[in-house]
Amino acid sequence: MLDAKPASRTHAAPAKRWRNYYRVYHVLSLYRLGTIFPGIHAGPDAFPSKEIAEEHALSLLRAINPPGRFLMDFAGAFPEGDAAN
């Protein structure tokens, strides 16, 4: 007869934590991260949703970048385990 089998899961579970990645253009000394060099770096904090992570990144960049210059740029928010590189 017909065997009833449970449907297989085709989707991954939603991400639980999101981490911001930043592109650094100049050598910076940030108190939480120490000295960071040009390249792409992960932020120190993880957030419960992508929207919260992006809001935090934009507020951080407003505080760090002086008017008319860019010391850091937002590379994106990625689920933990994925990377911007």
Helix, strand, coil % over all residues of the chain, rounded to 5: 20, 40, 45
The order of strands in the sheet holding 18-24 is 39-47, 18-24, 72-79
pLDDT per residue as tens digits for the range 12-66 = 666 689 999 999 998 988 888 789 899 999 988 999 999 999 999 999 999 888 8
CA gap 39, 36 in Å, rounded:
9
Maximal C-alpha separation, the chain: 73
Tell me what the pLDDT averaged over the chain comes to: 85
CA gap 26, 79 in Å, rounded:
26
29: which strand partners? Answer: 35
pLDDT per residue as tens digits for the range 12-23 = 666 689 999 999
Give residue limits of the domains in the chain.
18-69
Q: What is the pTM of this model?
A: 0.74
